[in-house]
Amino acid sequence: MTEILEIWGGHPLCGTVKIPSAKNSVLPLLAASVLCQEKVCLEKVPDLSDVQVSLALLRELGVSARQSGDRVLITPGRQLKSSLSTEMMHKMRASVLFLAPVLSRMGSVDASLPGGCKLGARPIDIHLDGLEKMGASIHWHEERLYLRAPHGLQGAEYTLRCPSVGATETLLLAAVCARGTTILHGAAREPEITDLAKFLGVCGGRITGAGTETIRVEGVPSLFGATYTPIADRIVAATVACACAAAGGCVTMQDVRAELFAPVLDVLEKAGCNIRREEERVTIERRDLLHGVGLVETGTYPEFPTDAAPLLAAALLQANGESCIQDTIFPKRFACAEGFGAMGARVRLQDAALYINSGAITHGAMTCAQDLRGGAALAIAALAATGKTEIRDAFYIKRGYADLKSLFRQLGGKMRMFKK
Ligand code: UD1
């Protein structure tokens, strides 16, 4: 049995959608809640499969975690377990974010390597190296990782080899309740990191500099609870914007600030879309043919986000003129190129660069999602193509979109999801 997303393309998208809280903010906040001694309530949380995995990880640790509509309520236990099952660790990359909070709170943690989308090698060496600098001992036994810090973690000055989002979050989570001061150099600057620091601050953490390359953390003995609404999902917003650019029409996105996904909007504007940026609201309109945009390179924030690379590619399949999207973060970002080709697109994959030639008229096809954003990119391409497209293994898409079918249906897209 696989989940199939079926799409009938060729209909412009029109209307208004609300952008939910960001997956990449919610997941670290759920891991951070392990450090809180009081109740945590997160609001506007989308019902994603990755959120379900995080809740299952919390329950494995002995934390009570329940959903009520789009709220998640977490009640800490007094004594937590310190072991994370291989099964849950393998289900997503963000499971690695549980290591530091459990280690900090319990003095030890054992787990296996995290799973996640196959975008190329995704080591966790920076996470582990930083934790080691903060006093953790690390050893491996039969593919399980054992971290120990029986006397607690110690603040340290540490330079990240590259600005990894996950490693910056791990080290923030390790530092917030460590003894003394931690200074992180070369930190990632993504808005989700700023959001994590803000949440930790609301819970009593003492963090300055999040959103810059240097973050300073004064360790505190423990954290309180909080009620918190994470920031909007800039990648869901980019998905809606790219879909409107691909299929044509006019769509307003509410509850999202344009600065959060400015590089995506800038490229879509260059391709010929009209964009209206208002406070907490962005409108995109595409009436005429799109133009090719030449070279777009992804990078760390505030550059063009890697997660939006396949989404933009799907829109640019409709452009007149050439484009090339070069991903500098992950070597296998464009597994969706095969599906684009099956739809009649003239694309060529060379290493981590996708070349898109103009002049192709795309049509529906049988395709298969191979990762989360690539699956969403196939859906965007299908919305603009003529005829019917089937996307197999659509469960990947549920990792980052609570209900993609309903999201696009409310804009006039024709989609259904079924199992076969
Ligand atoms: C996060 C996001 C993901 C996004 C990515 C880049 C979450 C849950 N996921 O993933 O959607 O695509 O940021 O913006 O927030 N690296 C190492 N060693 C490490 C850690 C990372 O070499 O210890 C490398 C990775 O292989 C990759 C690069 O650094 O090439 C960036 O990865 P990273 O920023 O860590 O991405 P994630 O946190 O996994």
Q: 328-376: per-residue pLDDT in tens?
A: 999 999 999 999 999 999 999 999 999 999 877 899 999 999 999 999 9
CB under 8 Å to 70, separation ≥6 — which residues? 20, 43, 44, 45, 46, 47
How far is ligand 1, taken at its centre, from the CA of residue 163, in Å?
Answer: 9
Mean pLDDT (the chain) is 95
What does the pLDDT look like over 165-201, one tens digit per residue?
A: 999 999 999 999 999 999 999 999 999 999 999 999 9
**What local confidence, expressed as pLDDT, does residue 111 receive?**
94
CB of 230 closer than 6 angstroms to any ligand 1 atom: no
Taking a C-beta distance cutoff of 8 angstroms, is the pair 234, 22 a contact? yes
- Output the residue whose Cα is nearest ligand 1's atom 35: 164
Distance 401 CA to ligand 1 centre (A): 19
**To the nearest whole percent, how much of the chain has pLDDT over 70?**
99
- Token code pair at residue 75: 């009640």
| pLDDT > 90? residue 115 | no
Closest residue CA from atom 20 of ligand 1: 124
Choose which residue among 113, 122, 235 to substitute to test ligand 1 binding: the one with the highest number of ligand atoms within 8 A of its C-beta: 122
pLDDT value at position 236? Answer: 98
Confidence of residue 142 (pLDDT cuts 50, 70, 90): confident
Residue 106 has pLDDT above 90, yes or no: yes
Catalytic residue ranges: 117
With residue 312 as reference, give the H or E element that holds it: helix 309-316
Q: Is 170 in the pocket of ligand 1 (CB under 6 A)?
A: no
Residue-level pLDDT at 116:
67
31 C-beta closer than 6 A to ligand 1: no
Query: Ligand 1 pocket test: which of 23, 29, 93, 164 has the largest number of ligand atoms within 8 Å of its C-beta?
Result: 164
Cis preceding-peptide flag for 302 (omega within 30 of 0): yes
Determine whether the shortest distance from the Cβ of 167 to ligand 1 is under 6 A.
yes
CA–centroid distance, 125 to ligand 1, in Å, is: 11
Q: Helices 191-202 and 165-175 sit at what angle, rounded to 10 degrees?
A: 10
Q: What is the mean pLDDT of residues 88-99?
A: 93
**74-88, 128-142, 381-395: least confidently modelled range:** 74-88
Q: Is the CB of 93 under 6 A from ligand 1?
A: yes
Reported confidence tier of residue 117, pLDDT bands at 50, 70, 90: low
Q: What is the pLDDT of residue 120?
A: 66
Which atom of ligand 1 lies nearest, measured to the CA of 125? Answer: 23
Average pLDDT over residues 122-134: 95
Q: Residue 420 — very low, low, confident or very high, per pLDDT cuts 50/70/90?
A: confident
Beta bridge partners of 326: 297, 353
What pLDDT score was predicted for residue 86? 93
